[in-house]
Amino acid sequence: MIVTATVLTSCLKLLLIPAYRSTDFEVHRNWLAITHSLPLKQWYFEETSQWTLDYPPLFAWFEYLMSFIAVLLDPQMLNVKNINYSSDNTVLFQRLSVIFTDLIYTLGVYMCCSALQKSWRKDVVLPILLITNCGLLMVDHIHFQYNGIMYGILLISIAYMIQDRFLWSAFWFTVLLNMKHIYIYMAPAYFIYLLRHYCIGGPLNFKSICSVGTLKNLGLLGSIVLGIFIATFLPFHDHIPQVISRLFPFKRGLCHAYWAPNVWAIYNIGDKIGFYLVSKIGGNSTTPEIASMTGGLVRETAHSFLPDVPPVATMALTALFMAPAMVKLFLLDRRAAHFVRCLVVCALTSFLFGWHVHEKAILMAIIPLSILSIMESNDARIFLILSTVGHYSLFPLLFPTSLLLVKVFLLLLYTLYAFHSLFKLYPLSICKYSLPLLNPFESMYLLGLIGVFLYENVVHSILGFDKRFPFLPLMITSVYCAVGVIYCWINYYIYFLKYNGMHVKSKINKNKSL
């Protein structure tokens, strides 16, 4: 099934080669040019293009290696001064490079499925849910990015964790961090699980914690993690502060250009409504652009009614809301399902409260949750809600009208399969008026996405709001989807904290399920 799903999905990816591509296409072409044409000491200083290199060094080396193939097809794409260069060979090379590197994702899917107990749900349902993920298709193969290889490495790391091969899991996750630092969202779960079940291992007492075995394991783990970081950053040792400044550009503002569906979308809309009401009460009929319903989506850095939110506040909130999950994970027995659930909680918490969160980061929760969806009905229920609303929230990335049917088709096909297959695993129907596995409220919420879609693509134009409120549809989409993501986070967090698997002695190995 994995091979079949990969081949069929790859055929679809080939059909999408001439499709719309975002500015990220130029971003990665520029990074190819920087790493190929300039000496290493200039990589993180080069700023001819506004799309400067801002990924960790391992991804820069990845671009560097690809550039030796790119130069054979069109050397001009590797000219730093060729801004927005997009010859046919350039487009073909970059599109095919994403498709080819997706084989790492396929390998990750295979390793995760192999680590689980043999069953129909693992051999058929899980591979299809992972390989045909419509979010990856939209983000990587239309919008354009290299998320497939990243999530492939993540799945490889998870597969090793399922098998209790802790050092290999840590190795691949550290590699992942040094390719794309956004995965630091998941690092707390890795740290706690490895500390408790690899480093300490035994009972929680002074003798066990201070034993030679614990210190030895801690040293081995630390050596692997630090070794990879040192090997990655050592070539840039004379300008590491410059590299760090590129990786963490806090001046970009609280929110991305299109508000990710998180708590800050709710906060921003509250700021706009509050300013509008105060202005009306004060008799000011004309409000400045910063408070208009269209002014908050493009590089706004200040709020006009509510207090501004500094980066340190988002970090503090994220750490605060993660803390209970970390304590729970530390106390739970050694079952990989606990670890993967905590990964989902960490990803959602960071997505909801993080600084300058990209809407694409929702996939960090959806993809690991796909693995859990075949394990228990509650995991499946949250997966169905989160994957539907999370994937829908990516629609604004594909804004050309020519892509309207494509993105709707991708979402509908994936969502229908998810509901159908998971309902076969868990034939639960709360009432005849609700969707499978969902209650009436959850069903009404998901069906409400139809209304959001109709307003964005039909009603908004009919009302003549195109020029007066051009970004209103995006704001509605972001806020509506934020409600669903927050709902999933609260429900899943409570489910994780209430899980009664404490003090159960069980050892996960290759022949056992999660």
Using the Cα atoms of residue 500, residue 127, residue 155 and residue 408 in order, give the sign of their dihedral: negative
Q: Where are the alpha helices (DSSP H) in 116-235?
A: 120, 126-131, 134-138, 147-162, 166-177, 187-194, 206-209, 212-233
Residue 332, strand partner residues: 502
pLDDT tens-digit map of 216-251:
999 999 999 999 999 999 999 999 999 999 998 777
* Whole-angstrom distance, CA of residue 302 vs CA of residue 63: 36
Least confident segment among 118-127, 171-180, 344-353 = 118-127
* Whole-angstrom distance, CA of residue 4 vs CA of residue 498: 39
* Whole-angstrom distance, CA of residue 262 vs CA of residue 255: 10
Half-sphere exposure of 184 (CA within 13 A, CB side): 15
Of 488, 455, 268, the residue nearest 389 (C-alpha): 488
- Give 216: exposed, middle or buried? Use CB within 10 Å, 0-12, 13-18, 19+: exposed
pLDDT tens-digit map of 96-150:
999 999 999 999 999 999 998 766 667 789 999 999 999 999 999 999 999 999 9
Q: How far is CA 35 from the centre of its chain?
A: 26
Question: Please, are residues 367 and 137 in contact by the beta-carbon 8 Å criterion?
Answer: no
* pLDDT for position 122: 74
* Whole-angstrom distance, CA of residue 126 vs CA of residue 158: 14
Q: End-to-end alpha-carbon separation of the chain, Å?
A: 21
* pLDDT for position 318: 96
* Whole-angstrom distance, CA of residue 73 vs CA of residue 67: 10
DSSP state of 19: S
Of 91 and 434, more confident: 91
Q: Distances in Å between the alpha carbon of 364 and those of 66, 343, 345, 358, 368?
A: 25, 9, 10, 11, 7
* pLDDT for position 211: 86
* Phi, psi for residue 255 in degrees, rounded to 5: -120, 155
* Whole-angstrom distance, CA of residue 301 vs CA of residue 280: 23
* pLDDT for position 395: 95
Q: DSSP letter string over 434-465?
A: S-TT--HHHHHHHHHHHHHHHIIIIIHHHTT-
Of 36 and 465, more confident: 36
Is pTM, for the whole model, over 0.85? yes
* pLDDT for position 510: 38
**Look-up: residue for tokens 């296409």?**
25
Look at phi and psi of residue 328 and say left if phi exceeds 0, alpha if psi is from -120 to 50, else beta. Answer: alpha
Of 367, 373, 341, the residue nearest 499 (C-alpha): 341
| In the predicted structure, residue 48 carries a pLDDT above the cut 80 | yes
Q: DSSP letter string over 375-405?
A: T-HHHHHHHHHHHHHHHHTTGGGS-SGGGHH
Look at phi and psi of residue 119 and say left if phi exceeds 0, alpha if psi is from -120 to 50, else beta. Answer: beta
* pLDDT for position 294: 37
Q: Which tokens is 103 given?
A: 């084989």
| In the predicted structure, residue 328 carries a pLDDT above the cut 60 | yes
Confidence label for 369 from pLDDT (cuts 50, 70 and 90):
very high
Question: Please, are residues 93 and 69 in contact by the beta-carbon 8 Å criterion?
Answer: yes
* pLDDT for position 299: 47
Q: Which residues contact 391 (CB under 8 A, 6 or more apart)?
A: 134, 135, 138, 366, 411, 414, 415
* Whole-angstrom distance, CA of residue 50 vs CA of residue 67: 20
* pLDDT for position 287: 44
Residue 179, strand partner residues: none
Give me the amino acid identity at 499.
Y
Q: Which tokens is 503 given?
A: 């003090």
Question: Please, are residues 493 and 326 in contact by the beta-carbon 8 Å criterion?
Answer: no
**Look-up: residue for tokens 């905590």?**
342
Query: pLDDT exceeding 90 applies to what percent of the chain?
Result: 74
| In the predicted structure, residue 484 carries a pLDDT above the cut 90 | yes
Residues 131, 134, 135, CA angle at the centre, nearest 5°? 105
Task: State the angle between helix axes of 377-392 and 363-372 in degrees (0 to 180), rounded to the nearest 10.
Answer: 150
Confidence label for 429 from pLDDT (cuts 50, 70 and 90):
low
Q: What is the 3-state secondary structure (H, E, C) of 40-76?
A: HHHCCCCCCCCCCCCCCHHHHHHHHHHHHHHHHHCHH
Question: Please, are residues 441 and 449 in contact by the beta-carbon 8 Å criterion?
Answer: no
